[in-house]
């Protein structure tokens, strides 16, 4: 059964304290792994797409990496405005738009 898990469930960091979030997946026919950020009361906001092992993407303090079994979202020197829930999702085929989401990691960055 296709499955996406994320760890930790919640993470509290001090401002400037770098860390990583994990997304592990078991899916047949991966056609992309996606990272989203979700603020309270809002819909998920797209961050990155990764397609193949070894690929990396960066945006400001965030860097996403991908292996054959998992993806990491590295947060370097986070700021309080980085506090949000981070979701990852995998797409199983190109046409059917069949996405499976993980439960998310709730990140709090304290000033």
CA angle 31, 83, 42 (to 5 degrees): 65
> Interacting stretch for another protein, rule CB under 8 A, among 13-21, 22-30, 74-82, 89-97?
89-97
Q: How far is the CB of 88 from another protein (least distance, A)?
A: 10
Q: Which of 16, 103, 108, 110 binds another protein (CB under 8 A)?
A: 103
What are the CA-CA distances from residue 81 to residues 56, 85, 96 (Å)? Answer: 23, 12, 35
Q: Which of 1, 14, 54, 97 binds another protein (CB under 8 A)?
A: 97
Distance of alpha carbon 84 from the chain centroid? 11
- Residues near another protein (CB under 8 A): 4, 32, 34, 36, 41-46, 49, 51, 87, 89, 94-104
């Amino acid at each position: 059964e296709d499955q996406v898990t994320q760890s930790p469930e919640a993470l509290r960091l001090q401002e400037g304290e770098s860390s990583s979030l994990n997304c592990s997946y078991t899916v047949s026919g991966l056609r992309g792994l996606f990272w989203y950020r979700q603020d309270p009361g809002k819909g998920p906001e797209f961050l990155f797409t990764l397609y193949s092992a070894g690929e990396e993407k960066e945006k400001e303090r965030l860097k996403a990496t991908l292996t054959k079994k998992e993806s990491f979202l590295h947060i370097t020197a986070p700021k309080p405005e980085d506090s949000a829930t981070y979701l990852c999702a995998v797409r199983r085929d190109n046409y059917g738009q069949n996405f499976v989401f993980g439960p998310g990691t709730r990140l709090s960055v304290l000033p």
